[in-house]
Amino acid sequence: MGPFLRDSAQVPEDADPPKPAAVVIPRTTEHVATSVKFAYDHELPVSIWAAGTGLAGGALPYEGGLVIAMHQMNSILEVDADARLATVQAGVIVQDLDSAVRKYGLFYAPDPASSARATIGGTIATNAGGLRCIAYGTTADHVAALTVVLADGSVISTGSRTIKNATGLNLTQLFVGSEGTLGIITKATVWLTPIPQGTPETFLASFDSIDDAGRAVVSMVKSAAELEVLEMLDATVTQWVEEDNHAGLAIPQAALIIGMAVGENAARSVDIACECAEHAGASEVRRQPGDGLMAVRKLSLPALQKRGVWVQGDTGVPVPRLPELIAKIEDIAEEEQHQVRIVAHVGDGNLHPMIEVVDNDWDTANRVTDRITAAAIELDGVISGEHGIGIFKHHELPMQFDEATLAAQHAIKKALDPKGILSPGRAI
Amino acid sequence: MGPFLRDSAQVPEDADPPKPAAVVIPRTTEHVATSVKFAYDHELPVSIWAAGTGLAGGALPYEGGLVIAMHQMNSILEVDADARLATVQAGVIVQDLDSAVRKYGLFYAPDPASSARATIGGTIATNAGGLRCIAYGTTADHVAALTVVLADGSVISTGSRTIKNATGLNLTQLFVGSEGTLGIITKATVWLTPIPQGTPETFLASFDSIDDAGRAVVSMVKSAAELEVLEMLDATVTQWVEEDNHAGLAIPQAALIIGMAVGENAARSVDIACECAEHAGASEVRRQPGDGLMAVRKLSLPALQKRGVWVQGDTGVPVPRLPELIAKIEDIAEEEQHQVRIVAHVGDGNLHPMIEVVDNDWDTANRVTDRITAAAIELDGVISGEHGIGIFKHHELPMQFDEATLAAQHAIKKALDPKGILSPGRAI
């Protein structure tokens, strides 16, 4: 398969991809506006391609549709270090922006796993998360202003360069996470953050009971510890990481918690977090200056990929309900006789169940995924914590939204895109 | 004038208030839905009354319209300390919620000046700010989920109880700050924050040049100092506070900066902030453990009120542009031969010009206000930083928004309120 035809979303390798009628590669907002106007006049479905790192299929082309590929809109237009703002074209790579601003003592806080390839526009359109959200929030929290091309080719400006703004509707946050359904983001002004000083500090805590691990996380989140990262691997994933890397990890019976603090309070924050872990019954707690132990988290995906094909699930529940969700996932896995492994951003309740795809049987994996979503929603959770809905979870929307709430979303979609040409049938 | 007839917005005392046809005092979401459905069927304009603390006239009644007064929807429905969430009816007073959750080691961070009277629903509908926004953001940053009655009486649920959520459009943030134009918030789930430990520390820094003060603020905001409050009074206001209170303040030639840090790093943060002030050329820097010096800020409004009637302006610019805005305001004041005093949340660029109303001449004061808005917008600022648009700034909207952007806002309004019954002619 060529470019613009599939993204990182998990689909069978032999799936027959839809063939778009044309791919436009704009360099300016005006190019995008002209192209969209053409699609609007001819009622062509439009998909927006950025870096192809999406995990929900939201950027896949439509048969006979128009693809707008944003990768050449990749200029960093301005860095205003005093105002802590940068303005970029939507196709700028996340990591490139971050690298460009560090010389000012600032960084770009959103850091999804795909940041070396994903674009600012794509990560805004999907409200991308990542590992550092417990400290810095998601991408939404770093967007100041947007330039957006609407379905009819008109160009609007949302937000402002001010920290506070109580002027008109918050269109900025309406477009953040709208997954290409309301308009095409061509330019973004984003907030930069002062680089924390001091040495980071990391810790690992092993738990033989998932309830104990859950209590540890709740107490950490409520404590004065200022953690930047708070992650979890299940026991099997921990064992696989250890098998592959011989890091000397004690394999827990239930879960391994991995945390990091940065800034001048790092050691103090890790003190508090380790006390929480011990108090909740951790079987082993280990800590270390620097960010070395974070490697354990990053090695989990390669360890999984080496051992199978997985649908990477993505759901979220309130932090205190994580142990219940994990217990339900174990029940579902047992009932379905299906392997589900768990990695999670436990600090914000965002859980990625890894659902094995056996013998290319995607239907079973998808059914298990839907059952896990249903379980999460019963626990006050959401269909997607950070990957979005796209095409893969579109059928799940009625699990979360009642008719009136879905109707309100569709009314807004229709108001901004009356012909329904932008990413139709996706996200909402 | 009786209740439900005027809010805190500055209008002439002898203004003839509009007379609504009826006032509904609901106790439940269903009561609100029934009332709004009635108004929808009969095409009555609806205004929403909470505590009457608004500063932009957004809650004032319509002649012959329906007032929905939310003060009896005042139950705190749930506090989930482990999840750091509280669910309340919209009419709960901000301070009452804060008081109710402190026993769990948590607090409700939004703290507008009106928090002893303002309601959760009203502060969400206006995205209220306040003194602590540089540390905690505005009200928007603390809203997890909403129950909203739409114009046709249907009830929708937005948001979630999860920290991360990438499911559907972000309707929550669309309703935050929409000033009653899109729906009526009847219930809110909000985030609570761990109470910082340690002793607060405050400082005052006097500047004889506004540019020096501006440079000090920029360097504080970019530094590692974690300030909770960063305020400014102009020289005259400082002098009036001193005249009334004999606090021993050194009267600066340009401005007094007031800052506070809380938490375990408070002293260190104030160290850094004071260094920034001295480096930028402060004529005097004074610091003190505890929050005592904050009184200086709080005494500024009484000092102003004692000396005249004022239109309390509200605008925002990027922090580095504050000195330019202040210089422009001084120019406007001189050209108009009109007194304008300045108090500001300088840490987030939100400036409140206090425009004197002489001999009940509101027209002149309003014209000066408009000129200041225009000056702010030229400096990449906004019409309103935290008070909202309401009726008083509605005519200014075209200063900030181009036609396409205003049209997009109106399209969304029309999609959710096709008959235009909710707060018509206000906010957008």
Report CB contact under 8 Å: B162, A80.
Answer: no
Q: What is the DSSP code string of B341-364?
A: EEEEEGGGTEEEEEEEE-TT-HHH
Q: Is B119 on the interface with A (CB under 8 A)?
A: no
Q: What is the pLDDT, as a whole number, of residue B311?
A: 93
Q: What is the pLDDT, as a whole number, of residue B224?
A: 87
Give the nearest partner residue to A409 out of B171, B222, B385, using CB atoms: B171
Mean pLDDT to the nearest integer, A348-366:
95
Q: Which residues of B touch A389 (CB under 8 A)?
A: 166-168
pLDDT, tens only, A296-315 = 999 999 999 999 999 999 99
pLDDT, tens only, A52-70 = 999 999 999 999 999 999 9
What gap in Å lies between CA B368 and CA A81, rounded to an integer? 32
Task: Nearest chain A residue to B157 by CA: give it.
Answer: A405
The position carrying tokens 């805590």 is: A205
Q: How confident is the model at residue B349 (pLDDT cuts 50, 70, 90)?
A: very high
Burial pattern A118-139, b for ≥16 Cβ within 10 A else e, equals bbbbbbbbbbbbbbbbbbbbbb
Contact yes or no for A213/A281 (Cβ under 8 A): no
Q: What is the pLDDT, as a whole number, of residue A5?
A: 44
Lowest-pLDDT range of A260-264, A373-377, B42-46, B173-177? A260-264
Q: What is the pLDDT, as a whole number, of residue A15?
A: 66
DSSP letter for A119, please: B
Q: Is B140 on the interface with A (CB under 8 A)?
A: yes
Q: Is B253 on the interface with A (CB under 8 A)?
A: no
Report CB contact under 8 Å: B167, A411.
Answer: no
Query: Is pLDDT of B158 > 80?
Result: yes
Q: Which residues of B touch A214 (CB under 8 A)?
A: none
Q: What is the pLDDT, as a whole number, of residue A92?
A: 98
Query: Is pLDDT of B2 > 70?
Result: no
The position carrying tokens 């205004």 is: B47
Q: How confident is the model at residue B15 (pLDDT cuts 50, 70, 90)?
A: low
What gap in Å lies between CA A319 and CA A314, rounded to an integer? 15
Q: What is the pLDDT, as a whole number, of residue B264?
A: 85
User: Which of B82, B103, B167 is the best mutation test for A, with the most CBs of A within 10 A?
Assistant: B167
Strand B66-69 and strand B22-24: the pairing is parallel
Mean pLDDT to the nearest integer, A311-335:
96
Q: Is A416 on the interface with B (CB under 8 A)?
A: yes
Q: Is B166 on the interface with A (CB under 8 A)?
A: yes
Give the nearest partner residue to B169 out of A129, A166, A178, using CB atoms: A178
Report CB contact under 8 Å: A428, B168.
Answer: yes
Inter-CA distances, B220 with A83, B200, B231, B257, B346, Å: 12, 17, 12, 11, 11
Sign of CA dihedral B88, B91, B93, B96: negative
Radius of gyration of chain A (CA): 22
Query: Is pLDDT of B112 > 90?
Result: yes
pLDDT, tens only, A380-411 = 999 999 999 999 999 999 999 999 999 999 99
Q: What is the pLDDT, as a whole number, of residue A11?
A: 57
Which two tokens mark B301?
Answer: 């409004």
Q: How confident is the model at residue A205 (pLDDT cuts 50, 70, 90)?
A: very high
CB neighbours of residue A305 within 10 Å? 11
For B308-400, CATH gives: 3.30.70.2740
Q: How confident is the model at residue A197 (pLDDT cuts 50, 70, 90)?
A: confident
Query: Is pLDDT of A345 > 70?
Result: yes
For A76-194, CATH gives: 3.30.465.10
Query: Is pLDDT of A32 > 60?
Result: yes
Task: Nearest chain B residue to A220 by CA: give it.
Answer: B82
Which two tokens mark A181?
Answer: 């359904």
Give the nearest partner residue to B160 out of A268, A382, A428, using CB atoms: A382
Contact yes or no for B85/B191 (Cβ under 8 A): yes
DSSP letter for B26, please: -
Listed by number, the residues of chain A in 318-377 with a beta carbon closer than 8 Å to a beta carbon of chain B are 318-321, 345, 348-350
**Residue B15 burial class via C-beta count within 10 angstroms: exposed 0-12, middle 13-18, buried 19 and up:** exposed
Query: Is pLDDT of A12 > 80?
Result: no
Q: Which residues of A touch B379 (CB under 8 A)?
A: none
ipTM comes to 0.96
Q: Which residues of A touch B80 (CB under 8 A)?
A: 318, 320
Mean pLDDT to the nearest integer, A335-349:
97
User: Which of A165, A175, A373, A402 is the best mutation test for B, with the most CBs of B within 10 A?
Assistant: A165
Q: How confident is the model at residue A2 (pLDDT cuts 50, 70, 90)?
A: very low
Q: What is the pLDDT, as a whole number, of residue B3?
A: 41
* Chain B nearest C-alpha distance from A243 (Å): 32
CATH topology classification for A308-391:
Alpha-Beta Plaits (3.30.70)
Radius of gyration of chain B (CA): 22
Q: Which residues of A touch B180 (CB under 8 A)?
A: none
The residue extents of the domains of chain B are 76-194, 201-300, 308-400
* Chain A nearest C-alpha distance from B248 (Å): 33
Query: Is pLDDT of B5 > 50?
Result: no
Q: What is the pLDDT, as a whole number, of residue B83?
A: 96
Q: Which residues of B touch A197 (CB under 8 A)?
A: 224
Contact yes or no for A222/A326 (Cβ under 8 A): no
Three-class secondary structure of residue B61 per DSSP? coil
Query: Is pLDDT of A179 > 50?
Result: yes
pLDDT, tens only, B121-137 = 999 999 999 889 999 99
Q: What is the DSSP code string of B115-168?
A: TTT-BHHHHHHTT---TTHHHH--GGGGEEEEEEE-TTS-EEEEE-SSS---SS
Query: Is pLDDT of A20 > 60?
Result: yes
Listed by number, the residues of chain B in 181-200 with a beta carbon closer than 8 Å to a beta carbon of chain A are 181-182, 194, 196-197
What gap in Å lies between CA B308 and CA A58, rounded to an integer? 58
Inter-CA distances, B146 with B7, B125, B138, B185, Å: 24, 11, 16, 7
CB neighbour list of residue A338: distance below 8 Å, 6 or more residues apart: A332, A355, A356, A358, A364, A365, A368
Q: What is the pLDDT, as a whole number, of residue A418?
A: 98
What gap in Å lies between CA B7 and CA B11, rounded to an integer? 9
Q: Do domains A76-194 and A201-300 have the same CATH topology?
A: no
Q: Which residues of A touch B384 (CB under 8 A)?
A: 165-167
Report CB contact under 8 Å: A166, B129.
Answer: yes
DSSP letter for A10, please: -
Report CB contact under 8 Å: B164, A316.
Answer: yes
Give the nearest partner residue to A224 out of B194, B222, B386, using CB atoms: B194
Contact yes or no for A151/A421 (Cβ under 8 A): yes
User: Which of A107, A162, A423 is the best mutation test for B, with the most CBs of B within 10 A?
Assistant: A162
Give the nearest partner residue to B400 out of A163, A167, A265, using CB atoms: A167
CB neighbour list of residue A141: distance below 8 Å, 6 or more residues apart: A109, A191, B141
* Chain B nearest C-alpha distance from A69 (Å): 23
Q: Which H/E stretch holds residue A233?
A: strand A229-234
* Chain A nearest C-alpha distance from B359 (Å): 30
Contact yes or no for A382/A376 (Cβ under 8 A): yes
What gap in Å lies between CA B340 and CA A376, rounded to an integer? 55
Its CATH class, for the domain covering A201-300, is alpha beta
Angle at the Cα of A242 (from A240 to A247), degrees rounded to 5? 160
Q: What is the pLDDT, as a whole number, of residue B7?
A: 54
pLDDT, tens only, A86-131 = 999 999 999 999 999 999 999 999 999 999 999 999 999 999 998 8
Q: What is the pLDDT, as a whole number, of residue B17?
A: 78
Give which of B182, B29, B153, B427 is closest to A409, Cα–Cα.
B182
Query: Is pLDDT of B231 > 80?
Result: yes
